[in-house]
């Protein structure tokens, strides 16, 4: 992939549930190595956006491209470059860590040998290698999340979607996860779209996309969004942006 190709490009994306508009002409780009935080109050359209990027729903209008592959025309190539961690855990609790990961690797067509190499690499990266033969049921919430992130990375995606992955984690587990994701962006050039309500998870170098009532209200680096709102904190900028149009 050339440097100029964004990991995710969304153009003129709209979606409605019957008469209810959920997304209205949404557009943004996420470059390689960029960690983009998606902020929005309840009902802003975050889950709808994720459902369209993962192709759970088809977008009737607009265009989504993942690593240069148009999702509608070239969906296999586009989805092959996508990793996802859903809000609800999706591991099989009665399989071991390694079995869960092997299953995912085989779905992505990795050879057994390549799968074993990558499983070891991802588990080591998160300090989980010695837990590989334990059943997922025996792991705590933070460790389960680590396995889910390892699984989402096995096929080396260009873009990782994270849907509030830190919900329910204790403070040390959250911090470990946030640090790990930022490190992946820096060291591997992984691009991330991360939906969260937790403003303290945002890093200095992250970019922000603020969604409200189905429209992008602001996007840019943390500094640009703060300057645009004349705000000192992300929290203050967020409240200004999402108070507009209320009532
Ligand atoms: N299945 C559905 N049928 C009808 N309306 C829906 C459906 N799912 C979502 N909506 C509506 O679409 C809009 C966007 O919802 P969405 O769930 O995408 O927002 P969200 O930002 O993910 O919210 P939350 O933070 O609460 O998960 C809301 O007005 C919501 O009520």
Could you read off the pLDDT of 90-125 as tens digits, one per residue? 999 999 999 999 999 999 999 999 999 999 999 999
| CA 222 to chain centroid | 18
CA angle 48, 87, 226 (to 5 degrees): 70
Could you read off the pLDDT of 130-165 as tens digits, one per residue? 999 999 999 999 999 999 999 999 999 999 999 998
Instruction: Identify the residues whose C-beta falls under 6 Å from ligand 1.
Output: 17, 20, 22, 40, 42-48
List the domain boundaries for the chain. 1-81+158-247, 93-156
Q: Which single residue is written with the structure tokens 């509608």?
A: 72
Could you read off the pLDDT of 46-81 as tens digits, one per residue? 999 999 999 999 988 999 999 999 999 999 999 999
If one residue of 21, 41, 48 were mutated to test the ligand 1 pocket, choosing by the most ligand atoms within 8 A of its CB, it would be 48
User: Ligand 1: distance of its center to the CA of 164 in Å?
Assistant: 15
Q: Provide Rg for the chain, Cα atoms.
A: 18
Q: Which single residue is written with the structure tokens 């074993």?
A: 116
Among 128, 126, 136, CA closest to 178: 126
Domain spanning 1-81+158-247, CATH architecture: 3-Layer(aba) Sandwich (3.40)
Regarding an ipTM greater than 0.90, the answer is yes
């Amino acid at each position: 992939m050339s440097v100029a190709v964004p990991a995710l490009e969304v153009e003129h994306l709209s979606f409605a549930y019957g008469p209810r508009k959920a997304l209205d002409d949404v557009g943004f780009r996420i470059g390689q190595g960029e960690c983009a935080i998606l902020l929005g109050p309840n009902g802003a359209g975050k889950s709808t956006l994720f459902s369209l990027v993962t192709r759970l729903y088809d977008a009737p209008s607009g265009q989504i491209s993942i690593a240069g592959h148009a999702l509608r025309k070239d969906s296999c190539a586009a989805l092959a470059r996508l990793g996802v961690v859903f809000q609800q855990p999706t591991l099989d609790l009665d399989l071991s860590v390694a079995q869960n990961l092997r299953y995912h690797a085989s779905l992505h067509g990795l050879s057994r040998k390549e799968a074993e190499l990558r499983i070891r690499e991802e588990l080591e990266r998160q300090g989980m290698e010695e837990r590989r033969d334990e059943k997922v049921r025996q792991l705590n919430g933070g460790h389960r999340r680590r396995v889910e992130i390892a699984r989402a990375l096995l096929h080396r995606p260009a873009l990782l979607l994270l849907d509030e992955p830190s919900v329910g984690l204790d403070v040390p587990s959250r911090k470990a996860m946030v640090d790990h994701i930022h490190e992946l962006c820096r060291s591997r050039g992984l691009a991330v779209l991360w939906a969260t309500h937790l403003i303290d998870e945002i890093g200095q170098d992250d970019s922000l996309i603020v969604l409200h009532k189905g429209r992008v209200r602001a996007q840019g680096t943390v500094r640009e969004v703060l300057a645009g709102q004349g705000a000192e904190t992300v929290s203050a900028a967020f409240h200004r942006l999402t108070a507009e149009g209320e009532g």
